[in-house]
């Protein structure tokens, strides 16, 4: 009788362990790795629309608000959030930048995370202009780079790497309309999510807000 009770107890323990394991697997967070084939074709250069695996942010070299060269090497092994803006924008950019500043405050003590904002009007957004803008927005230089550079290179990386901007006809390739998207890039240079840079916590169907972005950053930080 005692032996049967021990066997029953043993099997109950095994069942509990199995149940907990299955529950954990079912509820484990998983972020997709996003490729050009997963994104609205309007936002993707035709040269990369066919790519369905192993998509990574291409090597880059721009100049930041301090006149320093910033390359992909500076973000190697880091989680980072990228967006596109310009300093004289009076529509979505001010709100996006304020929300990026909000995000900066949340991640400032996390050494694994950085921010990267590209000007889509690099000729107007000189180093001096970006420096003034950075001071106004409370940019922490070690965490957040505002970059300018060759216009064609910025537009190219926007459509071929980050997959976040629209253009009209092919001949209008460099007449870019940037979106409100913040792009989450992981430690391997892969896109893991797009988030509405205008929305911190409002629930909108089909969109991910910045509260979700912060949760996903924490998830990637824990996995590293």
Q: List, edge to edge, every strand of the sheet that includes 79-85.
A: 144-147, 113-119, 79-85, 181-185, 191-196
| Cα gap 220→182, rounded to integer Å | 16
Domain ranges of the chain: 1-30, 36-223
The predicted pLDDT at position 211 comes to 97
As assigned by CATH, the class of the 36-223 domain is alpha beta
Say whether 6 sits in a helix, a strand or coil.
helix
Question: Tens digits of per-residue pLDDT, 61-106?
Answer: 999 999 999 999 999 999 999 999 999 998 999 999 999 999 999 9
The predicted pLDDT at position 25 comes to 34
Q: What is the pTM of this model?
A: 0.84
Contact between 179 and 164 under an 8 Å Cβ cutoff? The reply is: yes
Which phi-psi region, left, alpha or beta, contains residue 70 (left: φ > 0; alpha: ψ -120 to 50)? beta
Question: Tens digits of per-residue pLDDT, 31-51?
Answer: 999 999 999 888 888 889 999
| Cα gap 156→120, rounded to integer Å | 11
């Amino acid at each position: 009788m005692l032996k049967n009770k021990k066997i029953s107890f043993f099997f109950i323990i095994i069942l509990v362990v199995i149940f907990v394991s299955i529950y954990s697997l079912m509820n484990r967070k998983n972020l997709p790795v996003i490729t050009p084939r997963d994104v609205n074709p309007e936002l993707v250069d035709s040269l990369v629309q066919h790519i369905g695996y192993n998509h990574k942010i291409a090597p880059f070299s721009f100049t930041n608000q301090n006149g320093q060269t910033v390359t992909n090497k500076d973000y190697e092994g880091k989680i980072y959030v990228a967006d596109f803006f310009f300093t004289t924008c009076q529509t979505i950019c001010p709100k996006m930048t304020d929300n990026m500043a909000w995000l900066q405050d949340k991640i400032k003590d996390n050494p694994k995370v950085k921010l990267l904002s590209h000007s889509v009007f690099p000729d107007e957004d000189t180093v001096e202009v970006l420096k003034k803008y950075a001071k106004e927005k409370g940019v922490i230089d070690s965490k957040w780079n505002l970059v300018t550079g060759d216009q064609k290179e910025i537009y190219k990386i926007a459509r071929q790497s980050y997959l976040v901007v629209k253009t009209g006809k092919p001949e209008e390739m460099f007449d870019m309309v940037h979106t409100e998207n913040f792009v989450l890039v992981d430690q391997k240079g892969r896109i893991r999510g797009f988030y509405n840079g205008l929305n911190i916590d409002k629930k909108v169907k089909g969109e991910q807000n910045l509260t979700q972005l912060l949760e996903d950053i924490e998830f990637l930080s824990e996995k590293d």
